Structure 1
Amino acid sequence: VRALVQKAESRIWVRLLPPAHGWASDGGASATVTVNAGSKALAELQIGHPSLGVGEYEARVDVTWDDQDGKTKSIPVKYRILGTADIPAAVFAGGLNFGDVPAGGEGRKTVRAWNLGNGTARLRLAALAYPFTGPFQGQEHDILIEPHTFFDAIVTCAPKGPGTWSSTATFQTNNGLSAFDAISPNATSVGRSYQMPLTCQGSDA
C-alpha cells in the first residue's frame, strides 16, 4: 500500500519530512509512504517558520491511498505562536532620562511591556549597573505576562553623590518563539533582546 501525503495549504510553515519507508519531495510539499500489510508507517510534519508572527495558523494535509481508487482524507493542522512581550519603539528611541536626582534620593521611571498575543509572554530585565536598579532588587528575573495584559517595570536611579551616570538596560523577550519552545525556562535566551540607554544626573542634596 502506498499513501501519498500532500500539503494543500500553507507550504511555507508545514513541511513533510522524508519517511523511513518512502521519500519526500524537495521542500517537503509531498511524501510517499509504503505501508506493509498488517503494519503501520509514520509521516512526520515539520511545523513553523521564523517569519511567522504571533497568532494561530491553520492548514490541511491530504492523504491519498493508491489501493482505494485515489480516496483522499483531509487532516487539519493548527499551529499557535505564543504572545510576546512588546515595548513600544518610542520608548527605546528616547531611552530613560532621569534628569537631576539629589544625592541620597531616588528617581523612578516606568517601562510598560504589553503582551499583544494569545499566550503567556516572558520578559527578562538584566541586572543593572549602579546607580540604576530594576524590579526584584535589580536581580535578573523572568516576568510572565498573560495575554492582553501588561507589566510595569520600575527602573530607579539612586546616586549617593553628585555626578553624571549612564548605563544600558537590556530587555530580553520570547519574541518570535513558538508554543513549543516559548514555555522553556530559557526561552528568552533564544528570543530577542532590546537595549535602552539610561542617563542620570546626581546633584547635591
Structure 2
Amino acid sequence: MRCVGLTPSEHRETVQGCPCSAEATKYTASWRAAQVRVTRLAEELPLLPEAEGLLRLLADGKEAEDLGNLLPQLQVRGLARLLDDDDTRPVITDLGRTYLAARDDNRTATTVLVVDVDKKKRVARVDVSAWRPDEPVTVLMDQIANDSGLDADSLTGQWLEADANCDASDADDLVLTGFRPLAAMPSGWIRMGGEDE
C-alpha cells in the first residue's frame, strides 16, 4: 500500500513520493514487489522490440531518439525516466536494468527452503539450492503464499520450487518467481538418523 495508501486523503499529496516505501528504495516491500513485477513482465509480456531496443540504447548510455513515441511505454512501467523534470533526455532506471537482466539471464527452476517467516514485516528468508544454499535471501511472504497456495503459518520449513536467475552475483540481483509446491524431494537430500528419507 506504500505510505500514500495509509494516509488520509487530505494528506496524500504530501506523502506521494515518500522514499521509505518507494520502488526505488532498496529493501522496501515496494522494491521487492517491483523486482518481481518487472521480471514477470520480461518473461510473460515483454515490450515490443522497438521499445526494448530503446531501453537497450539507454542502458548502453547512448543518445536515443524516441522514435514512435516509445518513451511513455517505458516510463509507465518504471523502466525509464527523464533525467530531471525540465529535461527531455531519457535515462534507464534500476528497474529497467532488472527488466533487461530478466530478458537476458538464464532463469531456471530450483528448490528453495523457507527458513523462517516474519509476519510483522511480511517477509520470509529462503535458501536457494541452485544459488548459494547457505546464504538466505529475503522475499515477500505474500508472494510465496499467493504463488504456492500455502498458508503463511505453514511456510517455515517448507521445501518449494521457484524460478530464479541463479547466475546473479548477489542477493540484490536474485529474483525468485513462481513459487510452487515441490512434487517430490530428490533422493538423498534430507538425512535423518543417518538414513536417506
**Structure with a larger share of its residues in strand:** 1
**Structure with a larger share of its residues in helix:** 2
Q: Same fold (TM over 0.5)?
A: no
TM-score normalised by L of structure 2: 0.26
TM-score normalised by L of structure 1: 0.25
